[in-house]
Structure formats: structure tokens, C-alpha cells
Structure 1
Amino acid sequence: MGRVMALDLGEKRIGVALSDPTRTIARPLTILPRTSRRAVVEALRRLITEHEVEKIVIGLPRSLSGAEGPQAQWVRREAEALARRLPVPVVLWDERLSTVTAAAYRALRGARRREPLDAEAAAVILQDYLEAQRAPEPREDPPSE
């Protein structure tokens, strides 16, 4: 089983997170500067090969109500462009509150870094995805007589 990578797409930076080989734990990996699409694709291809990644999860920003606004539409377009250029499947995953959660985790650790939260937000997205994949299928209640 290969690793899963998550991306937190931004207009200036892309946060990258990676799962362990068992797809149990997500950790922040790096932040890629968004210089050009070509540079981003090349960097992602290197990371995919280096870490034996089998899937990429991209955070889809939705409002608290679940609606998709202009930012979500932009992410969808970017994800589609990346999916055409990368050698692994790309899936979208709801990222509501991932940056807020990442900031809270950072505060709990007592970290006061001024670095961007992009990679940590990607790790939050990925951990949520991994846990959802491990969740048992809901069992149907037996029919009542």
C-alpha cells in the first residue's frame, strides 16, 4: 500500500502533507511556492516518486453550510489541471476549518512560529481523509417485523 499525499492549494503557496506507509498518520511535509504550474507539477512529481505516493487528496474549501464559493471553484479547476498532469489519482476532500484546526494544534504544542500553516493544514485534511477511509461501513438496521 502506497502513501497518500494531501495538498492545501493557495494562490501563493501549496501546503503538502504525507501519510505513513500504513495510511494511518498524516504529517506536514513541505510548502511549495507557487511560481508556475510547470514548477509545481515538477515538484509534485518528484515528491510522488520519492515517497511512493499512490493518491493525492486536495482540500476543497466549502463554507460552513457546505456551499461552494469562488475559492472552491478555483480549487476544482486547479485540481483538474493537476490531475491531467500527475501520474496518480487526485481526489477532492472537504477542508472546512482545516487551517483553524492546524492553528489550534500549533497553539496546543506551544509553538509560536510565524511560518505559514499551509503544510499543517494539509496534514489536517489528510488525517481527516485517512480516518474516513478507515471508518467501518455503516451497518443497516435489520428490517422490523
Structure 2
Amino acid sequence: MITAATAEYRATLPEGGRLLGLDVGTKTIGTALCDAGWSFATPATLIRRTKFTKDKAALADMVAKQMVKGLVIGLPLNMDGSDSPRTQSVRAFARNLDDLGLAILLWDERWSTAAVERAMIAQDTSRAKRSEKVDNAAAAYILQGAIDSLVAARF
């Protein structure tokens, strides 16, 4: 199941469980994991994009090793909320992961990279170090926003 509706996604995971957040780029896939209780998200492994089959295998391996129950994929909408070619590409990426058998939440990521880069500049991180860490940090930012919303939907 692929959805952008938090309540629908939450209903598919009534017991919670670890989630894997993805920031899908053209050259890399930033990843982040959260705990089973949906309290906090942390950056994980950066996947350098090659062929989709290899990318999918790397994600499937991570899902199995980390006992992941669902995916949260950042959806790069235009500022007015409309789709762009990049948005359509990420939707296709999600459809191609559907056979992993996990619930997939598409999460609005319009401000994630800007927020992460601003935080890294504030920490006085060098440009070279920022470029290496930004995708995973953006994935954690996306996943944290999603789990905060999922937990709020419980009440």
C-alpha cells in the first residue's frame, strides 16, 4: 500500500515498528531509521545510486537486517503543492518498491533539505562535510516529521 494519508498509513501499522525513511535523489538515496516506538529518527547509510535493481537490493537488505515494518519516502512537491517531473520519478520509485510488502508513506519534503543545510551551517560544518551528510540528515528530518505526525494521530 502506498499512501500520502497519515491516518491510513497508521492503520496499517497498529503495533508500530521500525520505519525506514528515504530521501531519494538522482545520485544518492539518503536513509534514516526510527525506533519501533516512533520516538526518534537517526541518519543511516547513504546509498549511491547505480541500477535500480542494485538500489532495491540494498534497501531490501537494510529492511531485513533492521526489521523494518514500513517506509517513509520524501515526496519533492513544488512549492504550490503540485507535482513536478522529480515528484513523478519518486512516485514511480515508490511503486517499484511496493513488492517489498511494506506500507509506504509519501511525505511532503518541500523544506527538508533547506532546513538541514541551515542547521549544518549553524553548526559551522564545512561545505565538503555538509554535502556528504545532507541526504541522510534530510532523510532523518523527513522521517522525524512523519513519525511525529503518526504519533499525534494516535490521540
| TM-score band, normalised by shorter chain | 0.7 to 0.9
Using the size of structure 1 for normalisation, the TM-score is 0.87
Where in structure 2 are there 5+ consecutive unaligned residues? 1-15
Query: Which AA in structure 1 matches 2:81?
Result: G
Tell me if 1:129 matches 2:146.
yes
Identity over aligned pairs, percent? 36
Query: Which AA in structure 2 matches 1:100?
Result: A
Tell me if 1:88 matches 2:105.
no
1:20 pairs with 25, 35, 48, which one?
35
CA distance in 1, matches of 2:17, 2:151: 15
Query: Which AA in structure 2 matches 1:132?
Result: S
Tell me if 1:62 matches 2:77.
yes
Aligned position for 2:63? 48
1:113-132 deviation line (CA, Å, top 9, x unaligned) = 24251111111100110111
Larger % of helix: which? 2
Tell me if 1:100 matches 2:114.
yes
Deviates most, 44-53 or 101-110: 101-110
Aligned position for 2:45? 30
How many residues align? The count is 137
Rg larger in 1 or in 2? 1
Task: For residue 20 of structure 1, report the CA deviation from its aligned partner.
Answer: 1.8
Aligned position for 1:77? 92
Aligned position for 2:137? 120
Root-mean-square deviation over aligned CA pairs: 1.6
Task: For residue 89 of structure 1, report the CA deviation from its aligned partner.
Answer: 1.8
CA distance in 1, matches of 2:66, 2:75: 23
Task: For residue 82 of structure 1, report the CA deviation from its aligned partner.
Answer: 1.4
SS in 1 for 2:47: strand
CA distance in 1, matches of 2:148, 2:154: 12
Where in structure 1 are there 5+ consecutive unaligned residues? 139-145
SS in 2 for 1:80: helix
SS in 1 for 2:107: strand
